[in-house]
Amino acid sequence: MRDDSDPGVTWPGGRPAYRCPVPAPPAPDRQPPRLRFPVHRNSPVALLHGWRLGAVGLALLALLLITLPSGAIQLAENYALGGGLAVALQALQTLPLALSLVQPVAAWASSLAAGTAIALVSTPDGEPWPWPAAGLIAHLGVLLVLVGCCRWWTLLLAALAEPIAVAAVWRLVPEERRPEEIVPLVVIFMLLLVVGLVWSVRRDIRRRLREHERLTEEERARRMVLEDRARVAREMHDVVAHHMSVVTVQAETAPYRLADLPDAVTEEFAAIATSARRSLAEMRQLLGVLRSEPGLSARAPQPALDSLPELADLTRGSGVPVTLRSLPHEVARALPGTVQLACYRIVQEALSNVVRHAPGAATTVELAYASGRVAVDVTNEAPRTTGSPPLERVGTGHGVAGMRHRVDSLGGDLEAGPLPGGGFRVVACLPVGGGTVPVGGGERG
């Protein structure tokens, strides 16, 4: 990473210099505060946030404030229970509404246990059995939270426990206290739980589908990255193999091209040729798997900076006005083949993105060289409001990721993002490495 004192690359026309991005210091690792009360992983507090959690909490609080006093009064007046016992039993059946926010399963069990106790000790005088309307509403509220949060096996357990509890109370109470018909009560609970069970299974299937889609997208992105890395490796292999082959040929033919060489120099040339040949064979052996698939091995020569005018003309033919400011011919020829290929691919991908996402947007492609680095800047203005619509509204991000991997493989830096006034800019800074490169600039329109 370059220091801030480095003057950077200055673009023609007095544009600000490009500086390699400096990563921000990592944020301190802060652990979220732990709640003192244990929270169920499928509770509203764990699943909901913001206004949704507030709405559910207010609804449950309203139900609690309504059902607690009215249910206690009905138990005391119409179910032959004392005032204190009526308040205690109704509180045990109503308070689970608040408990269901953090522990819906425990709240349901508490509500069912309190309702069973009310059914065993109360004697309704012409009133619904076994609970008053307030107790029934409180239990239904707890069931709604259970249905909305918990998984299907929890709802299946509840669907089995509810009729078992009603049947047990039916067997335990005296015959004179047994109601003539309890089917409606069982049907209400069972219908709610069965609907919740179906909804939970559907929700679980949708969750599995979303997870599968996420894994598929991650696998697709990973495959795109691997394919791009393989392509970069093959292209680098072509460039390096060419130069290594030239070194091998020059070292082997030097004793025949140069007369009267000392024996030590001839042996040195032979050692250089042997080392170059061995390195080339090892590199081909390591990268041979990349060429094992049919159709992956390119027969045509790899493009370089002198192919940029042709690329710009091809882009102009698609309706995108492109202004190209490239390097002088002598500067471009002196750059390493890997750098030239990376610059070409970055410009190619950036122009492809302009054609897909901003058709007709004026685009400027600039290349500059200074301080042993080549900078590539591709900037497009905001797309035209009239004309053909974009081919793609939302990109996958694989193009920018591929450019970033290509730049990282050469030890460079990349900045890519939208501009404040509209448009998009891609700036890459690539180190040239060893060698002498003449300094200069040029422009082609």
236 and 363 belong to one structural domain = no
Spell out the residues 6+ positions from residue 70 whose beta carbon is closer than 8 angstroms to its own.
132, 134
Q: Where are the beta strands (DSSP E) in 348-401?
A: 363-370, 373-380
As a whole number, the mean pLDDT across the chain is: 75
CA–CA gap between residue 232 and residue 255 (Å, rounded): 36
83 within 8 A of 76, measured Cβ to Cβ:
yes
**In the prediction, which pLDDT does 374 show?**
92
CA atoms within 13 A on the CB side of 137: 15
The answer to the question of residue 237 being in a domain is yes
Once rounded to an integer, what is the mean pLDDT over residues 434-444? 50
Whether the per-residue pLDDT at 23 is higher than 60: the answer is no
- 340 lies in which domain range? 305-384+392-431
- Higher per-residue pLDDT: 295 or 214: 214
With tokens 């047990």, the residue in question is 168
Q: Note the pLDDT tens digit of each residue in 43-54.
A: 788 777 788 888
pLDDT tens per residue across span 234-277:
666 666 666 676 677 778 778 877 878 888 888 888 888 887 77
Whether the CB-CB separation of 348 and 305 falls below 8 Å is answered with no
- The SS3 of residue 77 is helix
In a domain, 445, yes or no: no
Q: Which of 40-54, 137-151, 299-313, 359-373 has the highest mean pLDDT?
A: 359-373
CB atoms within 10 A of CB 316: 15
As a dihedral over the C-alpha atoms of residue 352, residue 356, residue 362, residue 363, rounded to 10 degrees, the angle is: -20
Report the CATH number that the domain containing residue 372 is assigned in CATH: 3.30.565.10
Task: Please tell me whether the peptide bond between 130 and the residue prior to it is cis, using omega within 30 degrees of 0.
Answer: yes
Q: Evaluate whether residue 199 is within a structural domain.
A: no
Decide if 118 contacts 130 (C-beta within 8 A).
yes
Q: Whole-angstrom Cα distance, residue 442 to residue 444?
A: 7
φ/ψ of 356, rounded to 5, equals -80, -40
**Per-residue model confidence (pLDDT) at position 364:** 93
Q: Which residue has the higher pLDDT, 280 or 146?
A: 146
Helices 337-357, 183-257: axis angle to 10 degrees equals: 140
Domains in the chain: how many in total? 3
Cβ neighbours, 10 Å, residue 411 = 10
Half-sphere exposure of 281 (CA within 13 A, CB side): 7
Asked whether residue 157 is assigned to any structural domain, the reply reads yes
In this prediction, residue 8 carries a pLDDT of 52
The mean per-residue pLDDT over the stretch 182-207 comes to 72
The residue with tokens 């495959």 is: 223
Evaluate whether residue 438 is within a structural domain.
no
Residue 18 lies inside a defined structural domain of this protein: no
Helix %, strand %, coil % of the chain (to 5)? 60, 10, 30
Is residue 246 domain-resident? yes
